[in-house]
Copies of this chain bind each other. A is one copy, B any other.
C-alpha cells in the first residue's frame, strides 16, 4: 500500500505513546485504543505493528529500558565532572531519582511496569532484574576503586554497600512519587549518605553536587 514505511520507527512511536500513557495514567489506562489515539494512528495500526497486547507491552518495556539507560549515561555526561568514582556513583544514583520532569516520567513508568510484573510474572521473565543487577555491579566496581584510592573506608563490603545505595535511592524515589517528600528533599538525603560514605580519610566535606 502507500509508501514503504519504516517499521521500527513506527513501532517505536506507538510504543512510546504507550509509555506516555503509562507515566501519566498508569498501565491500566493503556488500552489498545488509547494507545492508538495517543500515537495518532488507528487501532488497526497498533494491531498491525504489535500483533497482541502483550507484544505491545513488552516492546514498550524495551523502549523504556533504553530510555532509562540513556538517561543515566546522559545525566552523567551532563554533569561534566571528572570521572571519579564519587562522581560516577553520585551521577548514577541521581539519574534515577525523580527530581526533574523527565526522571519523574521515567520512574513513574517504571513503577507502573513493576506492579504489572508483580501481578503477571511471566510477562518479563528477567528483563526486569537485568538492569538493576548491572547497575549494582557498576556501583560495586566504583566503590572498590574508591576504596583503593582511599576515598572510602576499605573495611566496607563493597557489594553490600552498593546494594544498599541502590535500594536507598529506589526507596527515596518511591517516597517522592508517593508524594511523601519532594525531589529536593530526597536528593538531600541521598547526598547526606553519599557524603558520609565518601568522607573517609578526608578532613571534612567532600561534597559538590550539580543537580539537574
Contacts and interface: CB of A to CB of B under 8 A. Distances in A.
A128 interface: yes
Contacts of A161: 212
A174 B210 contact: no
Interface stretch (A10-18, A43-51, A52-60, A191-199): A191-199
A161 B171 CA distance: 13
A170 interface: yes
A193 B115 CA distance: 27
Contacts of A174: 114, 167, 170-171, 174
B26 A119 contact: yes
A146 interface: no
Given A26-B119, A29-B119, A192 B164 contact: yes
Interface of A: 25-29, 108, 111-112, 114-121, 126, 128-129, 132-133, 153, 155, 157, 160-161, 163-172, 174-175, 177-181, 188-189, 192-194, 196-197, 199-200, 205, 207-208, 210-212
The 5 closest A-B pairs by CB, nearest first: A26-B119, A167-B171, A115-B115, A193-B212, A171-B171
